[in-house]
Amino acid sequence: MTNKVCVLGAGSTTYGKLNESIIELALNASREAIISAGITPKDIGAGYISNVFGAADKQVHIAPVIMSNLGIPYVPGLTIESACGSGSVMLREAFANVYAGFYDCVLAVGVEKITHTGTAQSTTLFSYCSDFFYEGGNGASFPGLFASIARAYLSTYKATEEDLAYVAVKNHENGMLNPKAHVKRRITVDEVLRSPVVASPLKLYDCCPFSDGASALILCNEKFAKSSGRPYVEIIGSGRGASPAAIQGREDITTIPSTVNAAKQAYKMAGVTPKDIDFAEVHDCFTIAEVIDTEDLGFFEKGKAASLTREGETKLTGRIPINPSGGLKAKGHPIGATGIGQVVEVFEQFTGKAGQRTVKDAEIALTHNFGATGASAAVHIFKKVN
Amino acid sequence: MTNKVCVLGAGSTTYGKLNESIIELALNASREAIISAGITPKDIGAGYISNVFGAADKQVHIAPVIMSNLGIPYVPGLTIESACGSGSVMLREAFANVYAGFYDCVLAVGVEKITHTGTAQSTTLFSYCSDFFYEGGNGASFPGLFASIARAYLSTYKATEEDLAYVAVKNHENGMLNPKAHVKRRITVDEVLRSPVVASPLKLYDCCPFSDGASALILCNEKFAKSSGRPYVEIIGSGRGASPAAIQGREDITTIPSTVNAAKQAYKMAGVTPKDIDFAEVHDCFTIAEVIDTEDLGFFEKGKAASLTREGETKLTGRIPINPSGGLKAKGHPIGATGIGQVVEVFEQFTGKAGQRTVKDAEIALTHNFGATGASAAVHIFKKVN
């Protein structure tokens, strides 16, 4: 006997450069999710936490500290790490436990506190998430790795740096409508193209920011959700994938195998195809990532995403809105929280809380979040219920 | 439909101050487990990794790096952290996934690489696993916290420092028989009592060492195990528990609620009682911990474990052998690996590979591993099959 798994509540801190501690951030998001679900902490059977660099804020083993501070010290929690994909990989485990009947209701909270270490130290710490022996240890930090990927894509598919700029412009546009976004600034294609080069062909506005923040969900089985009498969202598909850790091990760096495989599993489980997805939150750590994601997820034919993004197909009012929240690019990227924050966006969209960024008539949505250059990834598919 | 979960193979590096990188350690243990199970890497459906301080060896997101180096880069992996209890908490998740039918066969590998940072930095990093706001941040690192626990126990139950010394003497004795133990040195009660005070009443020989090391298991469903034609061990019980993160939040610090609750669940699932357990590997990060563990697990009445240990009941030839491997105290404590290493011991005991430290006629065993001062814990129960 397996259970349908539902999202009954969601909460999030603002993403950005924040003063709260890692624990305070996690608690603020968790409390908002608990209130949003109309439950009390004692309804929670277990806590699933995602985080990467707790040690940077001098708190590892954050799960029991979070549970204790929520007033449920005897409820077990654990932390899952999968680099920038930690949130979605954690969601998959929380999903599996409710699906298998181990718990009726769980808290899933992702958190990261990193900006206080500064940009240089953050870049160094993040580079430990690459295959450090081959990549980070030789100076290939993520901007450089994604620059290689962008270079390969642009030359293979005759796309342009200007095409990539449209991803940033669109996500900043969406972020303007998200009160919790890190970067609230409308930008133009010209500004993106003239921003400082970080790792050619990627410029400052092709890169997402380093962010602090936390996002939380209440997941439960269908019986629990129905008995609440509240609106909820059903998770109808879940998939996980992996790629060779170092990009040198991949046959083609213009596609990410973990995304392709995770999506295949999630679509199969959900019984839907890419055409059925009304909007998606995808992993746009760099503009090139969103382009590749939307092809790997099956929304666009290989090599077509850049030009179709430029033509507006991924805008809030386009054929397939991508990152209505603003994405990692504008909403921000607190790495342990990102994958959960994407689901917060789906929940808000499907429960009438997305305000001006609401995707019209949406009923099925997808979230996609990966770690490093896609060495790990998970994809989830959601259905609006009521 | 749920599945019985079995341990089909096990492997471990020596524990100690090691030169290999975190990845090399994990690979060495994993390869030994794979060979021990008679499978090939491509039989593995997912990797479950436990680790705490990967960043100390400049490699976070270790799961995909491990899977890639095993030649299975498209098989997803993830890392679970729960301080010193990471291994058992990870085992619980790997167990849940096979139990629920998500995978037929998975790799579960725990690893830690910490000694190169030195004793002072290791102590600082470990203190981040306490509730840092209340404990570590005020100078209460683990030796101090366990000293408080020991002081409370000794005064409540009229036990003596000499009683505690018997735990160390017995575990060092067992460690002498374990070729992979970190500390291979026979000690006397007198030596323990005269060793330098670390945090009174705990002295050097009351404390386990900082260790590097990795341990790995191949877990699979019963069908997979049976078709292998090899000896295997069945996991018949699994439980998780939690305690208030800071010890100030506990009503009584001479007992660890997470252990009590995890054990209750595991015994219930397995349909056995403490009397049915033939030997146990328990979390003896300090001598006082083993005393409290054996009471919380139901082997001894409250307040009696210290004197009964002194009388020899927990020796290899005693009524209930505790830590035949040498335990954290002598085998060593690479924190991310410890909970998995305990199961390696059970596997070796039940498949005729434990040599001189074999517990005679044992058929049911228990492993117990906690994080920090027991804020998190998991307990598993195993049955010898063939």
CB count within 10 Å of CB A320 equals 20
Q: Does A9 touch chain B (CB under 8 A)?
A: no
Domain assignment present for residue B47? The answer is yes
A146 SS3 class: helix
Domain assignment present for residue B191? The answer is no
Calpha distance A168→B183 (Å, rounded):
57
CB B33 within 8 A of CB B252: no
Question: Catalytic residue among A84, A105, A208, A220, which?
Answer: A84
Q: What are the pLDDT digits (tens) for B102-144?
A: 999 999 999 999 999 999 999 999 999 999 999 999 999 999 9
Question: Catalytic residue among A172, A283, A333, A368, which?
Answer: A333
CB B272 within 8 A of CB B290: no
- Using a CB-CB cut-off of 8 Å, the residues of chain A touching B60 are 52-53, 81, 83, 125, 128-129
pLDDT over 70 percentage in chain A:
100
Which of B2, B65, B103 best probes binding to A when mutated, by most A CB atoms within 10 angstroms? B65
Q: What are the pLDDT digits (tens) for B310-353?
A: 999 999 999 999 999 999 999 999 999 999 999 999 999 999 99
Q: Quick check: B74 and A129 CB within 8 A?
A: no
Domain assignment present for residue A10? The answer is yes
Calpha distance B369→A61 (Å, rounded):
14
The answer, yes or no, to whether residue B233 has pLDDT greater than 80, is yes
Facing B376 at nearest CB: one of A64, A89, A258: A64
Domain assignment present for residue B111? The answer is yes
Find residues 202-261 of chain A whose CB sits inside 8 Å of chain B: 240-246, 249, 257-258, 261
Instruction: Please tell me the pTM assigned to this model.
Output: 0.97
Tokens for A208?
Answer: 């997402």
Domain assignment present for residue B110? The answer is yes
Domain assignment present for residue B143? The answer is no
Find residues 313-332 of chain A whose CB sits inside 8 Å of chain B: none
Residue type, A196: P
Tally of helices (H runs) and strands (E runs) in chain A? 13, 11
A262 SS3 class: helix
CA distances from A280 to A275, A366, A379, B174, B184 (A): 12, 5, 10, 57, 57
- What confidence score (pLDDT) does residue B188 get? 98
- What confidence score (pLDDT) does residue A385 get? 93
Q: What are the pLDDT digits (tens) for A305-319?
A: 999 999 999 999 999
Question: Catalytic residue among B172, B182, B283, B333, which?
Answer: B333
What is the domain range of residue B112?
5-117+210-228
The answer to whether the complex's ipTM is over 0.90 is yes
Calpha distance A383→A350 (Å, rounded):
8
Q: What are the pLDDT digits (tens) for B360-385?
A: 999 999 999 999 999 999 999 999 99
Calpha distance A333→A210 (Å, rounded):
6
Residues 6+ apart with CB under 8 A from B9: B33, B34, B35, B36, B37, B38, B39, B217, B218, B347
Calpha distance B201→B160 (Å, rounded):
10
Q: Quick check: B133 and A93 CB within 8 A?
A: no
- What confidence score (pLDDT) does residue B1 get? 72
Per-position DSSP letters for A180-211, written without gaps between them: T-S------HHHHHHSPEEETTEEGGGBPPP-
The CATH number linked to A26 is: 3.40.47.10
Q: Does A140 touch chain B (CB under 8 A)?
A: no
Q: Does B100 touch chain A (CB under 8 A)?
A: yes
Could you list the pLDDT tens digit for every one of the 386 residues in chain A?
789 999 999 999 999 999 999 999 999 999 999 999 999 999 999 999 999 999 999 999 999 999 999 999 999 999 999 999 999 999 999 999 999 999 999 999 999 999 999 999 999 999 999 999 999 999 999 999 999 999 999 999 999 999 999 999 999 999 999 999 999 999 999 999 999 999 999 999 999 999 999 999 999 999 999 999 999 999 999 999 999 999 999 999 999 999 999 999 999 999 999 999 999 999 999 999 999 999 999 999 999 999 999 999 999 999 999 999 999 999 999 999 999 999 999 999 999 999 999 999 999 999 999 999 999 999 999 999 97
Question: Averaged over B54-72, what is the pLDDT?
Answer: 98
Calpha distance B382→B234 (Å, rounded):
6
- Using a CB-CB cut-off of 8 Å, the residues of chain A touching B257 are 74
Q: Does B285 touch chain A (CB under 8 A)?
A: no
CB B381 within 8 A of CB B297: no
A324 SS3 class: coil
Q: Does B21 touch chain A (CB under 8 A)?
A: yes
Q: Does B130 touch chain A (CB under 8 A)?
A: yes
Q: Quick check: B68 and A257 CB within 8 A?
A: no
CB A243 within 8 A of CB A19: no
A283 annotated active-site: no
- Please report which confidence band the pLDDT of residue B386 belongs to, taking 50, 70 and 90 as the band edges: confident
Angle between helices B86-99 and A86-99 in degrees, nearest 10: 60
- Please report which confidence band the pLDDT of residue B8 belongs to, taking 50, 70 and 90 as the band edges: very high
Domain assignment present for residue B341? The answer is no
Tokens for A380?
Answer: 């989830």
Output the 3-class SS for chain B.
CCCCEEEEEEEECCCECCCCCHHHHHHHHHHHHHHHHCCCHHHCCEEEEECCCHHHHCCCCHHHHHHHHCCCCCCCEEEEEECECHHHHHHHHHHHHHHCCCCCEEEEEEEECCHHHHHHHHHHHHHCCCCCCCCHHHCCCHHHHHHHHHHHHHHHHCCCHHHHHHHHHHHHHHHCCCCCCCCCCCCCHHHHHHCCEEECCEEHHHECCCCEEEEEEEEEEHHHHHHHCCCCEEEEEEEEEECCCCHHHCCCCCCCHHHHHHHHHHHHHHCCCHHHCCEEECCCCEHHHHHHHHHHCCCCCCCCHHHHHHCCCCCCCCCCCECCCCHHHHCCCCCCCHHHHHHHHHHHHHCCCCHHHCCCCCCEEEEEEEECCCCEEEEEEEEECC
Domain count, chain B: 1
A207 annotated active-site: no
CB B371 within 8 A of CB B85: yes
Residues 6+ apart with CB under 8 A from A344: A10, A11, A12, A215, A216, A217
Q: What are the pLDDT digits (tens) for B137-166?
A: 999 999 999 999 999 999 999 999 999 999
- What confidence score (pLDDT) does residue A94 get? 98
Domain assignment present for residue A15? The answer is yes
Closest CA to B344 of B6, B33, B10, B32: B10
